[in-house]
Structure 1
Amino acid sequence: MNIKCVIYNKILLIVFLYLLIVLVWVCGQLSVDSSELRFAKLIETSIECQTSAIKNENQLIIFAPSKKIAGTLAHSLCTDDVVAKQYGAVVSYWRYNTTESFEFVGKGIADLILTKNNIMEAFKAETTYNYQPVVGFSDYTAFFISAKEKPKIAKEYFLGKRIGLLDYPTSRSGHILPKQIFKELDINLENLNIVYASSHDALRDLLANGKVDIIASFWQESDAKRFSKNYITPLKNNIAGTRWYLKMPHNNTDLLCSVQAHLLAMSQEQSLHYYKGAQSFWQCDNDVVTFKRDEI
């Protein structure tokens, strides 16, 4: 009998505690206005704006390499009449690491994306999703850059050097080409002192601050303020520049020409000479829209 009483009392206690917890939760819900609960995003990775067609549920998806470009392009396209005829909003995503664009290209998520032609080729995205190049940037040359001497393409030169490379494998100038050089020179990567960086700017900071002896990157006009042009050695010339691609499952030439015009206008506002030199792939001045060239 005593055992039954003990068990009964425990059951009553458990039920009481459970009901008490429910009562406290209900009181908490009634005392808090859920509309006031707003949790800030820890990492902001996109921006959205509405077109004049606010009832249209279709969204134009953009993928850009930086927040500034993503925001500028989104707000520009949201005011466009052609875009408003087809979309109710423009959503622009950005990532600073090139590898993070793989999903947007590989799954065809992005309607408009700035990426490299070798990534498009790797995912066969041009044939799978009919991505078309709209605006491209000039070919460039990859270099080994040093702060104190002209780099040599020789096995003995690299041994013992602190070498700065990019930590994402799709970069041609900062990763692919220098590693190809090392392979051609029969250098085991394990025998090299490689320091990886997350961006080309970070590579330049490593070199300027004496953290590395040499980096692999491209040369830009502003580099002359920090380094000597006498201390660069080319790895490869005529590397295809990045391109803006538009997904074209339909022959949507109105959208293509409108997007191209916005991209060209945006390029003129860039501070770097390289990005000012954007060139179009399509002839939109005539009644019939035509493709101008295969490469820029």
Structure 2
Amino acid sequence: MTLISRSYFHYALTICLLITALVSAYWLLFHTKAPPLNLSDYYSYQCLTRPLPSSAADKPEFQILTVASPHAAQIADKLCGREDFARYYSGVRIRWQRRDFLTLDKIQNTRFDLFFNRAHVVEGIAPNLDLYYRMFRDSPHYSLYWVSLNDQPQMTPEYFAGKTIGLLADPHSQSFHIEPLDSLKIAGIGLQPQQIIFYGDMLSLYNAFNAGDVDLMTTPKGLISNNFDESKARYQLISNDMSPGKWYLSNAVNPDVHCALQTALNIYYSEVFPDAEASHDCQ
């Protein structure tokens, strides 16, 4: 083979290899499915208990599900700081998510050791709830209001004409979806679809209210820390007998930690319901 033919052969071989590589890359790019990206659909807080010489090394993590973030970290930290709790658990992970995050399979598989939700939601999901959980702690009732930063709300069609209201997109939310719509229906107030704006979470709803994107929203006055200027707020009562929900505890949880759980929930209730009394004498 002459020098020229050798050079041509090497050149042709290089071109063939390059074309093969490009064809392979094209096939991989358009015919290979990437694995799904798993994104967390909730927010959470985690803490660790203090190691104890007498406890097992492979202790599980205590799982809690609630519906809002306020005071969630306080509950977890209180549990993690207790020695009686640390004998059984390596730590606590508390998650907050919409009420419809709770499903039948999560209940049947005891996905959470302790969860918070409204009784009608839980009973609708799992009629045989007592096979897996028991009601552990009830909540004091609270009052729900319409609130405006512009004027005094009035339950009349004339007042709501041209007004926009902000609601949660969660159809299971009693305070921020069901009750406000029911109160309008009872008062004979009909709104156009464009007057009702739905938001995916509480922070977005409060931000929209503060920015003036909606004229009214509902709020449990005095129950939670409102993220708006109270000096400008004007209220109209919807109901003074609202139940926020109950805590449900897995039947598998050792009774030795029941007192630790009650004490941790006391901190939550003392912040949310200042006048609430402890339902036990645990220390």
TM bucket (normalised to shorter chain) is 0.5 to 0.7
User: Quick one: distance in 2 between partners of 1:264 and 1:214?
Assistant: 32
Go from structure 1 to structure 2 and tell me whether the alpha carbon gap of 1:162 and 1:189 turns closer, same or farther (over 3 Å shift).
Answer: closer
C-alpha RMSD of the superposition: 3.8
The 3-state SS of whatever aligns with 1:207 is helix
Select which of 249, 264, 272 maps to 1:246.
Answer: 249
Partner in structure 1 of residue 238 of structure 2: 235
The 3-state SS of whatever aligns with 2:159 is helix
User: Quick one: distance in 1 between partners of 2:162 and 2:228?
Assistant: 27
Partner in structure 2 of residue 111 of structure 1: 113
**C-alpha displacement of 1:96:** 4.4
Partner in structure 2 of residue 47 of structure 1: 46
Q: How many equivalent pairs are there?
A: 245
Letter in 1 for 2:160: F
The 3-state SS of whatever aligns with 2:122 is helix
The 3-state SS of whatever aligns with 1:118 is helix
TM-score of the aligned structures, taking structure 2 as reference length: 0.68
Structure 2 unmatched ranges of 5 or more: 1-12, 25-37
User: Quick one: distance in 2 between partners of 1:265 and 1:95?
Assistant: 17
Letter in 2 for 1:97: R
The 3-state SS of whatever aligns with 1:206 is helix
**C-alpha displacement of 1:170:** 1.9
Partner in structure 1 of residue 94 of structure 2: 93
User: Quick one: distance in 1 between partners of 2:92 and 2:245?
Assistant: 21
Go from structure 1 to structure 2 and tell me whether the alpha carbon gap of 1:199 and 1:224 turns closer, same or farther (over 3 Å shift).
Answer: closer
User: After the TM superposition, which residues 136-285 of structure 1 pair with which residues of structure 2 at under 5 Å, given as runs?
Assistant: 136-185=138-187, 190-220=192-222, 226-227=229-230, 231-249=234-252, 252-265=254-267, 267-268=269-270, 270=271, 274-282=272-280
User: Quick one: distance in 2 between partners of 1:282 and 1:73?
Assistant: 17
Letter in 2 for 1:116: R
**C-alpha displacement of 1:176:** 0.4
Partner in structure 2 of residue 293 of structure 1: none
The 8 Å contact of residues 142 and 234 in structure 1, kept in 2 or not, is answered as yes
The 3-state SS of whatever aligns with 1:131 is strand
**C-alpha displacement of 1:277:** 4.5
User: Quick one: distance in 2 between partners of 1:115 and 1:227?
Assistant: 28
Matching of residue 133 in structure 1 with residue 136 in structure 2: yes
User: Quick one: distance in 2 between partners of 1:138 and 1:131?
Assistant: 18
TM-score of the aligned structures, taking structure 1 as reference length: 0.65
Residues 36-73 of structure 1: CA deviation (Å, up to 9, x unaligned)? xxxxx975645252553342444422224456744443
User: Quick one: distance in 2 between partners of 1:155 and 1:186?
Assistant: 7
Letter in 2 for 1:118: H
**C-alpha displacement of 1:153:** 1.6
Residues 216-267 of structure 1: CA deviation (Å, up to 9, x unaligned)? 22223865971458721111121113333322357x4432222112322455
The 8 Å contact of residues 140 and 238 in structure 1, kept in 2 or not, is answered as yes
The 8 Å contact of residues 116 and 246 in structure 2, kept in 1 or not, is answered as yes
Select which of 102, 119, 122 maps to 1:120.
Answer: 122
Tell which deviates more after alignment, 212-221 or 120-129.
Answer: 120-129
Go from structure 1 to structure 2 and tell me whether the alpha carbon gap of 1:246 and 1:161 turns closer, same or farther (over 3 Å shift).
Answer: same
The 8 Å contact of residues 133 and 248 in structure 2, kept in 1 or not, is answered as no
The 3-state SS of whatever aligns with 1:61 is strand
Select which of 57, 60, 63 maps to 1:61.
Answer: 63
Tell which deviates more after alignment, 196-205 or 41-50.
Answer: 41-50
Go from structure 1 to structure 2 and tell me whether the alpha carbon gap of 1:229 and 1:109 turns closer, same or farther (over 3 Å shift).
Answer: same
Go from structure 1 to structure 2 and tell me whether the alpha carbon gap of 1:115 and 1:57 turns closer, same or farther (over 3 Å shift).
Answer: same
